[in-house]
Amino acid sequence: MNVKKEIWVNFVFLQAIFILSFIYFYKVIFASDYILVHGDYRYALTVYEHIQYHTGETIYLHAPKTPILMLLYPLSFMFGDILAEKLFTVVILSLSSSLVYFSNRYFIKKTVNMGHLKNSASAFIGTLVFLYNPWTINKIHHHYWLVFSLAASYALISEIDKLIQNQEETLCPSYIKIAILLAFIATQVQALILYVSVFVIAYFIFFGIIEKKAFLKRLVNKRMILMAIVALFLNLFWILPQIITIFHGQSEPGSYGIVIEDVDILSRRSSILNIFKAASGYIWGGYDPRADVTYALNLGIDLWNIVSLVPITIAALVIVFGFKALNNKGRKYLLYFAILLVISILLSTGSYYPIFGEIYRTTFLNTPLGWVIRDPYKNVGILIITLSYLFSILAAIFITKIGNKKLSLLLLFSLIITPSIWGWPALTGDLNGHLNFGLSKYPEDLMETINFLYAQTGINNYNVLWYPDESDYMIYSDVPRISSNALNSLTLGDHPMLNSLMEHALQNKDKDYIITFLNKLGVKYVILRHDLKDTGEKQRLLRDIKNFEELFHDQKILEIGNFTIYKISSSQIINVGIPTYCFTTDFLKIFKFDNVILNPFPADFVLISDTQVTIFNSTFITPRSIHHQPNKYWSAGSTNGGWLNSFLPYLTSHNIENLQLDYNNRLVFTWAVSKLNDNPVPDENDLISYWAFGTINDLYQWKNYTRGNQFGSLYTLTLDNGALKAELWNSTRGWKT
């Protein structure tokens, strides 16, 4: 086939890839006046704000993304900002799939001798596996950079192999391609360890063992050294900033503690069976379409659960029987990808199984870059790449080895149907309704509110509070982080205790308390939100909103649609200083907490001066937590009070059942001092700080000096099989311990 025909064949398949990528999101895209507000998906209200966010103060972290983000400008020019933001995900998926397609073509060529058209068709069938599977579906709609990095990692190993194995390869184009792919991979810097290191290390070790000196001779020479120099030089635009962030401690994630509960809870579904299905990811908050994509496909039988195991079965059969159909050279590559398959399965189990789980935990907790492997589901990406390659090889075998054309076409059709059923939600246009829940009318009022705040004099010297701040019950689940990044926005939702204090004060209509509370937080502007979802919590939130409106009606300065802006008097300017931890006693001196159960030793606040505080990462304390940096995190580091803010991991590990039945009663553990001074005089605002009873006598001594009516509720304190049992009844806050 001549070059012109070859180009046309590739063009046709690339067009098909783009169309299939578009189908992923076509219902969302055609909802032209709506934006997607969904999970971890980072959206902006304008293209300019999206690019400005990544090229402003955060350029050190986002430099590799900059060239790709520039595609937003022509998209915006042609389709407007709303469509450009949504089409960008389609572009990323299309680019990723195209990289997989060309990589499949290369490795098919190295494995099976066949013409260009047949090679391209086989590569395309393998690309369908990359497009239609639960892992890609899970990641592409809220973590598309990871998908792009994975595909670029696969393409990188194909270029490295081409350079090593084909000594006659033209050097300059290869060097440039490798440099570009390295930049693509760095758009999600974790991929350098999660994917590139696995592909490259496995490649060097495997071919070094198989080909011995011949491989080492091709690997260690001037052309390879030159390649490394050129690739690194052309990537200095992001490598140098990354080095700076490492030395300034900015490369590690700041939103969660490096604690054992992190990796354990993200590994809770990482069984071998779920990994085979590529469905071992953490389910966020339930199993309805809002929480995760629904794959149920019952046609008399549970079809999806059956078909979801077919791809891994086919892969195993290709590895076992492919050796007979391939030549010696092809067998080497087949074995290399078989090794990658095994490695990916092992890494994807995380801490689920005993022996390897301990190794995984230790690596996560005790190595400088251990945080990268926090979520083992990301490792399933390599599994998807190996399946894509193995499907391509099987398609090539069907085309070249089966003489009966009808049988060959039937088998090829079955290969196409398998991933189509495995990832069938990708054919629905909104991931089987999953994304439909995240569509919201473009918020003109929110955009005006943000622009108004930006225009205020000295806005950067104060904090801004959006309230209520329980994002699960709001239409715009997070005030667009990209569009409001320059505002000092506090997030009480990340600090459940503070949120409770605010709500408690509103219920008591204690304006002085709220003003003191907000002043200590440096809050000058409160934006009252009315964009409530119709949930069971709506009435409670409406009550809080009404109370705030009544208390602060004289401080309202502007009302824009669903957002009302209030200016708080006497707010303290945020000072910059070296933070020191604030312990419970200091914390109680700053605030007078009435009738509140306090999580012990809060690190929600950091003292900046004698009179000032600012928000710091919250902690959630549970007994005997194993963790990294004990001087910083007491235990289960709640990702700032987010999804890990749950007793589920601790209780289930101790076989405490029926948690789901009791969940809404808000179980809580707390402590109190074990011994008191002689003749103590408790203050009405005293709180339980901690319990640490050494003996039964300590318990009774404490009981004798503690009122039986605290927090506005009755309580009992007893020993139950050697464990301290405290129960609070008639509590106005609904807490039961």
Q: Give a three-class secondary structure readout of 189-258.
A: CCHHHHHHHHHHHHHHHHHHHHHCHHHHHHHCCHHHHHHHHHHHHHCHHHHHHHHHHHHCCCCCCCCCCC
Return the minimum-mean-pLDDT range out of 33-37, 170-174, 618-622. 618-622
Higher pLDDT, 240 or 119: 119
User: What is the residue-averaged pLDDT of the chain?
Assistant: 76
Amino acid 589: pLDDT:
36
The model's pTM: 0.77
Amino acid 571: pLDDT:
55
Amino acid 377: pLDDT:
95
ω into 173 cis (within 30 of 0): no
pLDDT grade, residue 707 (50/70/90)?
very low
Amino acid 146: pLDDT:
95
Q: At residue 485, does pLDDT exceed 50?
A: yes
Highest mean pLDDT among 421-425, 520-524, 676-680: 421-425
pLDDT tens-place string over residues 163-174: 888 866 666 788
Strand order in the sheet with 613-615: 580-581, 605-607, 613-615
Q: At residue 113, does pLDDT exceed 90?
A: no
Higher pLDDT, 350 or 594: 350
SS3 (DSSP) at 343: helix
Higher pLDDT, 589 or 7: 7
pLDDT grade, residue 371 (50/70/90)?
confident
Higher pLDDT, 75 or 672: 75
Strand order in the sheet with 463-467: 489-490, 463-467, 523-529, 563-567, 556-560
Q: At residue 358, does pLDDT exceed 60?
A: yes
Measured distance CA(54)–CA(69) in Å, rounded: 9
pLDDT tens-place string over residues 283-301: 654 445 566 788 887 776 7
Measure Cα distances from 123 to 132, 162, 395 in Å: 15, 17, 8
Measured distance CA(518)–CA(509) in Å, rounded: 15
How many residues appear in the chain? 737
SS3 (DSSP) at 353: coil
Stretch 597-615: mean pLDDT: 31
Measured distance CA(553)–CA(258) in Å, rounded: 44
Measure Cα distances from 418 to 19, 74, 307, 584 in Å: 19, 36, 7, 58
Stretch 394-406: mean pLDDT: 91
Q: Residue 385 has which token pair?
A: 């790449």
pLDDT grade, residue 703 (50/70/90)?
low
pLDDT tens-place string over residues 528-554: 988 888 777 788 889 999 999 999 999
Q: Could you please report the per-residue DSSP string of 569-609?
A: TTPPPPP----EE--HHHHHHH----S----SS--SEEESS
Q: Residue 221 has which token pair?
A: 């020479």
Q: Residue 244 has which token pair?
A: 């700076």
